[in-house]
A = this chain, B = another copy of it.
Amino acid sequence: MGEETVGNKMIVLKDYVKGFPKESDLLLETSDTQLRVPDGCDGAVFVKNLYLSCDPYMRGRMSKLEGSYIDSFTLTGFGVCKVVDSTHPNFKKGDLVRGMTGWEEYSLIKSAEGLSKIQHTDVPLSYYTGILGMPGTTAYCGFYEVCSPKKGDTVFISAASGAVGQLVGQFAKLFGCYVVGSAGSKDKVDLLKNKFGFDEAFNYKEEPDLNAALKRYFPDGIDIYFENVGGKMLDAVLLNMKLYGRIAVCGMISQYNLEELEGVKNLFLLVVKRIRMEGFIVFDYAHLYPKYLEMVLPLIKQGKIVYVEDIVEGLENAPNALIGLFSGRNVGKQVVVVARE
């Protein structure tokens, strides 16, 4: 069977993108592949891609952005895959793995060290692109390691119904915090309040004065801000932070498609309020993954943590799904199903 040649559909980035990416920037192409690791390619695995993760950081690779932490141009991302062939001792045919893969039906992964075998399959496999993957670990280390939470802290989360935000809010609630989230539609706000158990939530698009909105929900100020959006929201949050507040900077999605970045004006309040503002990337906390799984798997099984996914079927719909992230069209974690097994 290894010699069988099949057409491999793939999503190719046409050119560097400026401003908001369009579906036409991403082309569906097909090339032939054999379903095995090529001869002489040791330590590699050949996988069938099952679930692909759409993540905001992927915007960075589409442009030549100074300091971007993913190389530009190769359309790759986190995914859940099934091993078809392996020349790596740690992986064998049939293994389910998670890690960086190509946006295509089949991928040859030459540096298989970046892959992890999936051990727990009594949860939806797609969860390994979300709650059990990079976004989940991001929420975990961002909240517990960067935010320095204390019981009773007031917590604000922007982009709160997204892949990371919905978990930060639930973790903070379980920890004993007062939690408010912002999102960009009524449906998302309902989700925050009724599904994820946030104390309050608001639609930032309906708030002409973000400062006033935050004052409404945090009359005594914000201890912790989990920053996913940047720009105007950050300026409004700074006005409402408490003394000794902490801002964990996870992302700034409002800025990724702007050719001219918004300036943040209220940074002097970092001094006045003695605020610690800290950027972080989940890669630095990879060692915490086993500890995180140990915590979160029982919570999932007991229904104490829920996870909402926005699932799109078919690789051909992947470009549209990815681009939808930047207008906030997704409700919950955006996943593309390439194949179910």
Instruction: Please give the residue numbers on chain A whose beta carbons come within 8 Å of chain B beta carbons, in ascending order.
Output: 66-69, 230, 234, 239, 249-252, 255, 261-281, 284
Q: Smallest Cβ distance from A178 to chain B, in angstroms?
A: 22
Q: How many copies of this chain does one complex carry?
A: 2
A275 to B273, CA, bound (A): 19
Q: Smallest Cβ distance from A172 to chain B, in angstroms?
A: 20
Q: Does B252 contact A261, Cβ atoms closer than 8 Å?
A: no
Q: Smallest Cβ distance from A158 to chain B, in angstroms?
A: 14
A272 to B251, CA, bound (A): 9
In the complex, what residues of B have CB within 8 A of residue A234's CB?
267
In the complex, what residues of B have CB within 8 A of residue A270's CB?
249, 277-279
Task: For the A-B complex with A264-B267, A274-B280, A276-B276 known, give 19 more contacts whose Cβ atoms are closer than 8 Å.
Answer: A68-B272, A69-B272, A230-B268, A234-B267, A249-B267, A250-B271, A252-B268, A261-B266, A262-B265, A263-B264, A263-B265, A264-B265, A269-B279, A270-B277, A270-B278, A273-B279, A274-B284, A276-B279, A277-B277
Q: Does B268 contact A255, Cβ atoms closer than 8 Å?
A: yes
A263 to B267, CA, bound (A): 9
A68 to B239, CA, bound (A): 11
Q: Smallest Cβ distance from A111 to chain B, in angstroms?
A: 21
The residue that A261 contacts in the complex, of B250, B251, B265, with Cβ under 8 A, is B265
In the complex, what residues of B have CB within 8 A of residue A284's CB?
274
What would be 29 A-B contacts, judged by CB atoms less than 8 Å apart? A66-B239, A67-B239, A67-B269, A68-B272, A69-B272, A230-B267, A234-B267, A249-B271, A250-B271, A251-B268, A252-B267, A252-B271, A261-B266, A261-B268, A262-B263, A262-B265, A263-B263, A264-B264, A264-B265, A264-B267, A269-B279, A270-B279, A272-B281, A273-B279, A274-B279, A274-B280, A274-B284, A276-B279, A277-B277
A184 to B173, CA, bound (A): 50
A272 to B234, CA, bound (A): 17
A266 to B279, CA, bound (A): 12
A280 to B270, CA, bound (A): 8
Q: Does B278 contact A277, Cβ atoms closer than 8 Å?
A: yes
A270 to B281, CA, bound (A): 10
A242 to B104, CA, bound (A): 35
In this complex, what residue of B is CB-closest to A70? B272
A268 to B57, CA, bound (A): 11
Q: Looking at A252, A271, A273, A277, which has the most chain B CB atoms within 10 Å of its CB? A: A271
